[in-house]
Amino acid sequence: MGRWLAFLLLAGLTCLSAAAAKDGADAGAPTPLTPFAPLSLEESQLDQLDDAIERAMQSGDFVGLAVAVVRDGETKFLKTYGVTEIGGDKAVTPNTLFRIASLSKGFASSLAGLAVSEGKLSLDAPAIDFAPTLALSGGAEKSLTLAHLLSQRTGLPPNAYDNLLEAGVPPEKILPQYRKVKPICGVGRCYTYQNVTYDIAGRAVSAAYGESYADLVAMRLFTPLGMRTASIGSASLTQTGDWARPHLRDRKKSRDAPPNPWHVVEVKEPYYGVPAAGGVNASITDMTQWLKAQLGDAPEVLSPAVLDLIHSPQVNTPSETRRMRSVMPNLASSQYAYGWRVYDYGGKRVIAHGGSVDGYGAHIAFIPDLNAGIVVLANTRSRRMWSIAPMFLDLTLSQPRRDWLALEGMDTVFAGSQ
């Protein structure tokens, strides 16, 4: 409101100054004031986004939040909200570290793409070359390739044996147990989201370069992209002085009951055991650089050929289409590429991925044709968090206005695993 009042005042002063210049002598006539520029469409959209997030913060759905928007190679919006720990006074900053969970898969696929482009790795390589203990029902592991792993086409039931991983069973001991699991389709024939088997891609790039996976991510991606605070592993998260603590809340006993309060939980270790699937920590500043690179603004690090490879759809994902339509009503279809989801949304190709692990949520989405995208990081998981990126997409694509963040209802629902 204040901004528009300033605009009206300045506009009025401009008119008065222009009239004075016309009536005065040529020498020494007052110079007209420069009119206050009205908000551009993009600025107006970002103001709407910020206003909605500010209101959503008042709902109690969030403890800490960080959001960035990139367009045409520039950071158009970067803002942090809330605190790193419930009840504390340490504000989230642009350098506060969050777990990004399954957004880590895009880092693994990017490294794989680099290895392929440099002739060090083939996507047709058998997965058992890098994980000899892997066994699938009926010996199907012999036909499983890196391309199948990276595009989630193992044939295993979704999130197979994530429960064992979460119980502390080492991945090496889980891989041979898949021989007891009945597949839901043949290898390469359908989409079934995985974490434990996806991590084999990290082993493959490590073998290709003769370096540890964590060192490769740092050398080939973090450092050259200027991701100065990004890291892998729980120690790298908690040893820094600026990190967002994870928060959970107990489920409501009834639908009409008020939401339970957030409480801090310990950082869970299991998914750090599969770093290619879920091991990266990053700040919103880091992820802004990552978003720019995925949009093609760092060709010296990720070439157009690498991006074309990893962003190319490999399999239809009807379950994802059904799951996301509640927050993306204009979603026509979805597919999985290599570590990335590809949506047909509002007539545009959108590349995206979500990440969810105890106490953290992360979301990235971008429109290559418009060179625009958004990243969202949170240290809570609520339904509203998953609606921030769709709101940005709708605003950018001039879709009909709606109550994206359910601010009228102010109801919290847990989001499912990503």
pLDDT higher at 39 or 312: 312
Q: 41-114+203-396 domain in CATH 3.40.710.10?
A: yes
Q: Give pLDDT, residue 413.
A: 36
In whole angstroms, what separates CA 129 from the centre of its chain? 30
Q: Average pLDDT for residues 378-397, to the nearest whole number?
A: 95
Q: pLDDT tens-digit profile of 328-385? A: 999 999 999 999 999 999 999 999 999 999 999 999 999 999 999 999 999 999 889 9
Q: What is the DSSP letter of 274?
A: S
Q: What is the pTM of this model?
A: 0.88
Closest CA to 236 of 285, 286, 279: 279
In whole angstroms, what separates CA 189 from the centre of its chain? 27
Using a pLDDT cut of 70, give the percent of the chain over it: 88
Q: pLDDT tens-digit profile of 158-176? A: 999 999 999 999 999 999 9
**Burial of 4 from C-beta contacts in 10 A (0-12 / 13-18 / 19+):** exposed
Name the residue ranges covered by the structural domains of the chain.
Answer: 41-114+203-396
> What confidence tier does 39 reach under pLDDT thresholds 50, 70, 90?
low
**Burial of 322 from C-beta contacts in 10 A (0-12 / 13-18 / 19+):** exposed
Lowest mean pLDDT: which of 5-19, 236-250, 272-286?
5-19
Residue 374's SS3 state is: strand
Q: Give pLDDT, residue 254.
A: 85
CA 187 vs CA 138, 155, 176, 230, 317: distances in Å = 11, 5, 16, 34, 15
* Residue 393 CB coordination number (10 Å): 26
Residue 179 to residue 163: CA distance in whole angstroms = 16
Lowest mean pLDDT: which of 5-19, 29-43, 245-259?
5-19
The set of residues, in sequence order, having a beta carbon less than 8 Å from that of 281 and lying 6+ positions away, is 97, 98, 99, 100, 230, 231, 232, 233, 236, 237, 243
